[in-house]
Amino acid sequence: MLKLDFERAVLNRVPVMEKHPESYFRQVLFLCDEYQHFATVGESEPTGDEKFFSLSRQPKCIPIIATQSISSLKSALPGESWRTLLQTFRTKIFLSLSDDFSTRIASELCGREYKLKASYNLSESGHDANVSFLTGRALSHKANITASKSYSSHHDLRFDTKTFMELRNAQSVTIAYDGTNPMPPMFCYLKPSFNNVNKFYFRQLADGEL
């Protein structure tokens, strides 16, 4: 109930901001951990988190939510409504995931790209071959071995499910949005706020701080 009252109060700022465009309105932060316990969807009703998040930029609300996994969010919502809610989050930061459903959805959200895949071919040829009476195998005193390497383009997942399951501490796959344009999914190294901000990630990792 408190969450719905907060969302209603934030959306009520819209007509006030339109009425007084000369005034300055501060940003509002919506921060929620373990969001799967508080998530609601309205579907055909006028209330619902998916409707609030889709309109939150206009009243200057910054929503930041954290959930255990996509599976936990799916199990808390009816039907396929979790998809509608998930698409309202423009920036998504995936830490290590352990269930196959969450890793598959996260991998699909990152999309596909063309990758070069190497293939190798080994071939052996011989001249004046004969059969050995001792081993019964073909023998040749003039043999050649040819090795070749070729590349072919494949339309493959940008990050496969294995990548999400093997993410270490302070590593993430991020789908970012800069406020104007979406950025391509990328592998990110994170630095905890309680560590030295002037010390780069790999030095912190080598010193055992991560």
**CATH architecture for residues 2-16+26-112+158-206:** 3-Layer(aba) Sandwich (3.40)
Contacts for 185 with CB less than 8 Å, ≥ 6 apart = 109, 110, 111, 158, 159, 173, 174, 175
Q: Where in the chain is the domain with CATH 3.40.50.300?
A: 2-16+26-112+158-206
Q: In this predicted model, which residue has the larger pLDDT, 138 or 12?
A: 12
pLDDT band of residue 31 (cuts 50, 70, 90) is: very high
Give the phi and the psi of residue 77 in degrees, each rounded to 5. -120, 150
* Over residues 169-181, mean pLDDT: 90
* Over residues 115-126, mean pLDDT: 80
pLDDT at 148 over 70: yes
Phi-psi bin for 170: left (phi > 0), alpha (psi -120 to 50), beta?
A: left
pLDDT for the residue numbered 146: 82
* Over residues 10-31, mean pLDDT: 90
Nearest to 21 by CA among 30, 9, 13: 13
pTM for the model? 0.75
